[in-house]
Homo-oligomer: A and B are copies of this chain.
Amino acid sequence: MMKLYTYFRSSAAYRVRIALNLKQLDYEAVPVHLVRNGGEQRQTDYLALNPAGLVPTLIDDGNVLQQSLAIIEYLDEVHPQPALLPGSPAERARIRAIAQAIACDIHPVNNLRVLRYLVHELGVNDAQKNAWYRHWIAIGLSAVESMLAADPRTGLFCHGDTPTLADCCLVPQVFNAQRFDCDLSAMPTVMGIVERCAALDAFQRAAPGQQPDAE
């Protein structure tokens, strides 16, 4: 069985959990606590699997796989149905572009280790930290809203009427935004899609609160 090194609140791990569920693939969840014990992701055993010390890591058939988007692409190549990157090269590029607008342009700047650096190295206060967080969410998700609202290929989900890689990224990002009380009122397309995802079992079971390591 596949083994997923995960942390309930990590949005990168959350993306992979959604993809595994959409493909109805069973896996063993191995919790890596990012806060406790000085950060279990920095322990030697884990670093051997994931030199960056980040979650998730997926072990499948002896292959050690890192990076959430790379893992989901792998799952889609090995288990093609349901397709998380359907369509022509241009359509697949659109799905990837939406995913990367989240995974490259929003999430890394608001990652736990970046927020910690702001506080501990730059002496930023709580209000400044929250303003930082909301700034990158507002800019980043507005761009995603425009990409979605302006394009007839958007359907019930980010691309067409079935969930894709883009939805696997969007839902965890909006979860984070809500956790930090970001104003999402100007993002009706995004929020409509997130609502439709939330109605699906695959997304529900992947949610942070449903994980064995949830606090």
Which residues of A pack against B, CB within 8 Å? 47, 51-54, 63, 65-67, 69-71, 73-74, 77-78, 89-90, 92-94, 96-97, 99-101, 103-105, 107-109, 114, 117-118, 121-122, 124, 128, 131-132, 135, 140, 142-143, 146-147, 150
Contact = CB atoms under 8 A, between A and B. Distances in A.
Nearest to A48: B150
Contact of A101 (B66, B78, B118): B66
A89 B51 CA distance: 21
Give this chain's copy count: 2
A89 B100 contact: no
Contacts of A117: 132, 135
Contact of A52 (B89, B105, B131): B105
Contacts of A124: 122
Nearest to A71: B93
Nearest to A50: B143
B51 A143 contact: yes
A65 B90 contact: yes
A57 to B, nearest CB: 10
A54 to B, nearest CB: 7
B128 A51 contact: no
